[in-house]
Structures are given as C-alpha cells and as structure tokens.
C-alpha cells in the first residue's frame, strides 16, 4: 500500500471505531455494531498500517513491519458503515 492509501485506510478504520464507540449500546451493555473481537481485528489492522507508515519514514526496519487485514465479514461491515 502507498502512503496515501495507508493514511486513508487508517483514517477510515479510526472513523468506524469512533462511530462504533459513540452509538448507543444494547441493553446488555454490548456494542451493537462490532463485537469486542471484531474491534480487536480492526485495531490489529490499524497497528499493521502504523508499522508500514513508520517503515516508510525510516523509523522501523522492514523486518519489523506487520501486515494484517480484517477478515472479509468485518470488511463488509466496515464498508456498510462508511457508506452510510
């Protein structure tokens, strides 16, 4: 991914998590949009993008760069939310 794509994706994931945190929770206190494990997956991808950006800036060695993308079912939920 290029720097612009990384930044856009990072911002999109941040937007999704921010929105998810802001919406009303279900009666049992759980978030209605993403489960805790889905939020962890989203944050894993954000962390991977962060390491890629750091490597592009020369702050990390290439061997320290992580790659991760959320599973397809989470990606579909992300796209639905971003298209609202």
**25-43 per-position pLDDT tens digit:** 655 666 668 998 999 999 9
pLDDT digits (tens, 9 = 90+) for 50-84: 999 999 999 999 999 999 999 999 999 999 999 97
Separation CA 84–CA 73 (nearest Å): 17
Pairwise pLDDT comparison (38 vs 6), residue with the higher score: 38
Separation CA 48–CA 66 (nearest Å): 5
Residue-range domain boundaries for the chain: 3-82
Q: Is the pLDDT of residue 1 over 70?
A: no
Angle between helices 72-82 and 3-22 (to 10 degrees): 80
Residue 5 is predicted with a pLDDT of 80
Half-sphere exposure of 61 (CA within 13 A, CB side): 2
């Amino acid at each position: 991914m290029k720097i612009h794509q990384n930044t856009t994706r990072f911002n999109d994931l941040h937007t999704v998590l921010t929105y998810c945190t802001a919406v009303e929770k279900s009666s049992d206190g759980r978030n209605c949009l993403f489960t805790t494990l889905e939020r962890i997956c989203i944050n894993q991808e954000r962390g991977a993008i962060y390491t890629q950006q750091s490597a592009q800036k020369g702050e990390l060695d290439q061997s320290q760069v992580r790659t991760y993308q959320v599973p397809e079912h989470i990606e579909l939920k992300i796209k639905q939310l971003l298209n609202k």
